Amino acid sequence: VRELGDSDGMIRTYATVSLSKMGEPAVPALIKALSHQDVGVRWNAVVALNMMGEPAKLAVSALIKTLNDEHKEIRATAAGALAKIGTPKAKQSLVEFVPTLIESLSDKNAGVRVSAARSLGEIGVTAKQAVPDLIKVLDDKDVGVRRNAVAALGRIGAGEAVPALIKVLNNDIKAVSSLVAGALEKIGTPEAKQALQEYQAKSQ
C-alpha cells in the first residue's frame, strides 16, 4: 500500500496489480488508501479495487464516497469498480452516477473520456441512456476513447448503435475495428448479425 505512492511508476503498477490479486485480505488497506491526501495513492487504490471486482464488495461504501472525488478519472474508475462488484447497493449508486459519466465523455482530457467510456461499459445495460453519447465519441480523436466506446456499446447491447458500428468497421484503424465484431456479436440483432457475417466473409 505504501508503494502505491512511490515515485517510480513501475513500482506503483506492481503494487496495484499485486494488491488486486490478493483479493479480500487487501481490501481494508485499500479502503483506507481511497481517502489518502496523495491523488496518486487514491488513483492506484481505486484501480486495484476495479481490477479485483467482486472480492472487493466490502469496499462498496468507500467506493460510493469516492464517486465524489475531486478527480474525474478516479470517480469514473470507482464507478467501474462498483459495476464489477455488482451488489444491489453498488448498482443503485451507479444508476445515479451514469449522467456524470456521460458528461465526462466530452471532457477535454482524453484520460477522463477513456475512463468514462470504460466505466459505462462495465456498468452495462444500466447505462443504456449513455448510448447516444457513446455513439458520438466513436469519432473521438483518441483511439483509446473509440475502443472503449465500441466495447461499451457491445456490453450495453445497443441495437441502435449498429449503423454507427458498421461505419467504424469499414473506416477505422484495425485497433478499433477489430473490436466491432465482438460488439456486434453481443448486440445480436438481425442487422448486427448480418453485418458480422459480411465482415467475416470479407476477412476470409
Q: How far apart are CA 90 and CA 164, in angstroms?
A: 31
Q: Which residues contact 155 (CB under 8 A, 6 or more apart)?
A: 121, 122, 124, 186
* SS (HEC) of 182-194: HHHHHHCCHHHHH
**pLDDT tens by residue, the chain, 204 residues:** 888 888 888 998 899 999 999 999 999 999 999 999 989 899 999 999 999 999 999 999 999 999 999 999 999 999 999 999 989 999 888 888 999 999 999 999 999 999 999 999 989 998 999 999 999 999 999 999 999 999 999 999 999 999 999 999 888 888 898 899 999 999 999 999 998 888 888 776
pTM summary value: 0.79
